[in-house]
Amino acid sequence: MKTNNSSLYYILFIAIFAILLPAGHLSGFLSINTISIWGRYFCFAIAALGIDLIWGYTGILSMCQAFFFCLGSYGIAMHLVLQKTALPDFMVWNKITTLPFFWQPFNSFSLTVILCMLIPAALAFLIGFVLFKSRIKGVYMAIITQALTLAMWLIFLRNETNLGGTNGLTDFKTLLGFDLANTQVKLALYFISFTVLCLAYMACHRITRSKFGKVLQAIRDSESRVSYTAYHTVNFKLAVFVVAALLAAVGGMLYLPQTGIITPGRMDVKASVEMVMWVALGGRGNLKGAVIGALLVNFLYSVCTSWFPDSWLFILGFLFVITVLYFDKGLIGLVTTLRARIGNLYLKTAQTTN
Amino acid sequence: MLLTVNNLSVSFGGVHALNLDHFSVGEKELRVIIGPNGAGKSTLLDIICGKTRADSGEVTFKGKQILGKNEVTIAEMGIGRKFQKPSIFPELTVYDNLLLAVKTKKDIFSTLFFRVTPAIADRIHSVAMRLQLNGVMYKLAGALAHGQKQWLEIAIVMLQDPTLMLIDEPAAGMSDEETEKTGGLLLELAKTHSIIVIEHDMKFIEQIANNLVTVLVRGKRLMEGTFDEVKNDQRVIDCYLGRSNAQLETL
């Protein structure tokens, strides 16, 4: 029963995104921009998987996933900017003559990729180590990580940080010699994002199914019991926090070339809350829910902002309140309950006719 | 002696919760602790398992000092705890609850690549059989009846295979039949483990107290003796019935 249910989701997912959407583009129904937009949503979904691991499974509400996402994006963006000019424009305007030392490694693509994952992972380790060692839990964890993201946002906004300030980094031309404006390249990026999302999903699926995943869920249920059962909970929380940060960073890395711009706005308070909402609306504690939530909320966002540009936040807020009040398990939970109800109804009618 | 407690003192906000001169438990001994509410029974177990910090004194287990160690280290040394209010993982199945408890390597990599060996499966199965959980193995633990939750937590402690089990009110909320079964189980476990049990139910204590019973009153040790000695001691009767007693006043 359960496996049938899952495989239906998988078949639908692959049919829509690996066949239908690209076919729609090739036959001329969908513009390449639509494809690119969905490619971006996949990147959000990758980050959402991480949020589901840390929040949905382990019960730690981390509000700094948007920051890790941006670290990935900024890293790739720095590489792309350096591909174009030896000294970025905004530095010239700010009368800086030599490239700052922390920009230097981003000249090399391989080093960029390594740093894009290493920096978020190392930061997550550091933040997690301090917070988990001091036994910070629940709402305090959320507040501290949110404050941290806010602080980072303020730092990235400043011109002195040499990361483009409010305007962020934009106007990229090529990646590894490929023209980013090219339709074929955009389609390739779409498929790469899709593949990485699938791989990330499979990895997370394995993690949650393993005993390690069970320990995470046990920590969510009763952390003290896990400790008295001789598990070092701090290590487990730290591990999952680093994995979540890595997933966010990978999402950010793939997001950048498909969007063409990264600004600190991607990690402001609104953005970091929104990321958590994807998972809440989709269904936390369920990887499928996280992916569906990220894709659906972002799709709704693009629909709503073009139809009712000013009311998006109200719509999102309304959806969130409804979810919290009436379907705790999100969209996935709703579908499961409905299926069970219909199944029961069917059984009852079958019994009465008999 | 497996566990020795000397001059242990704990106070919460200026109130002495525990002021214990001496307490010790030997190998494969089943010790029952009784005492009126607020006597410090649970606090004593909390200190032994690392949940609460003591102000002063010493607690040694297998000859090693355990005060100041954290709960994970203490659990690794071989002390398992069952709480008064059942502490289980409600969102996991009974089987997963048991699987997490089984004594194996418990670091990140071992759990990530963990496979259930036949030996482990057998162990889980036999413990589940003994506690009559085999019929509800794939139910969520949160959906169990209160008595079953109690047994599940005892099963979790059993699977950890600790040297010393700290069992806090195992019979609370159980029917007479279940209580008797729990008593039988504890007696059987006591053949291979040291156990400290906190209880109020006198009938249950009579069943399991094959050795010493310790009476705590207001954080202090009132007396230690066999069940019959304790039952017939005037001070014990008085403190339970709330009667004033000159000997109690001086305690």
CB A79 within 8 A of CB A294: no
Q: How many CB pairs under 8 A join A and B?
A: 78
B72·A222 Cβ contact <8 A: no
B1-78+164-251 CATH choice from 3.40.50.300, 3.30.930.10, 3.10.580.10, 3.40.50.10860: 3.40.50.300
pLDDT-derived band at A1 (thresholds 50, 70, 90) equals: very low
Confidence of residue B200 (pLDDT cuts 50, 70, 90): confident
- Taking CA–CA distances from A232, the nearest residue in chain B reads B72
- A281-336 residue pLDDT tens: 888 888 988 999 999 989 988 888 888 878 888 888 888 888 888 887 888 888 88
Reported as a pLDDT band with limits 50, 70 and 90, residue B251 is: low
DSSP B13-29: TTEEEEEEEEEEE-TT-
Give the amino acid at B123: R
**CA distances, A111 to each of A70, A254, A339, B45 (Å):** 17, 16, 49, 54
Residues B51, A224: contact at Cβ < 8 Å?
yes
- Tokens representing A108 are 């090399």
Measured CA distances, A13 to A52, B158, B198 (Å): 19, 45, 55
SS3 for B134? helix
CA gap B146, B150 in Å, rounded: 6
Q: Which residues in chain A touch residue B96, judged by CB atoms under 8 angstroms apart?
A: 214, 218
Condensed to tens digits (0 to 9), the pLDDT of residues A154-173 reads 999 888 788 888 888 888 88
> Are B106 and A228 in contact (CB < 8 Å)?
no
CA distances from residue A334 to A283, A297, B167 in whole angstroms, order as listed? 9, 16, 41
Residues in A touching B70 (Cβ below 8 Å): 227
Range of lowest pLDDT (A125-139, B203-217, B235-249) = B235-249
- For residue A266, the number of C-alpha atoms closer than 13 Å in the C-beta half-sphere is 30
Contact B90 A221 (CB under 8 A): yes
| Cβ–Cβ below 8 Å for A225 and B108 | no
Domain boundaries, chain A: 31-281
Q: Given B76, B81, B112, which is nearest A212 (Cβ)? A: B112
Complex prediction ipTM = 0.84
- Does B81 contact A at CB distance below 8 Å? yes
Domain ranges of chain B: 1-78+164-251, 89-161
State the virtual CA torsion across B147, B207, B17, B229 in degrees, nearest 10: 160
pLDDT digits (tens, 9 = 90+) for B96-154: 999 998 888 888 888 888 888 888 889 999 989 888 888 888 999 888 888 888 889 99
pLDDT score, position B249? 58
Residue B138 with chain A: CB contacts under 8 Å = none
The predicted pLDDT at position B247 comes to 60
- B86 burial type by CB count under 10 A (0-12 exposed, 13-18 middle, 19+ buried): buried
**How many Å lie between the alpha carbon of B89 and the closest alpha carbon of chain A?**
5
| Mean pLDDT for the stretch of residues B187-209 | 88
Neighbours of B209 (CB within 10 A): 23
pLDDT for the residue B195? 92
CB–CB of B89 and A233 under 8 A?
A: no
Inter-chain residue contact B76 with A221, CB threshold 8 Å: no
Is A124's pLDDT higher than 90? yes
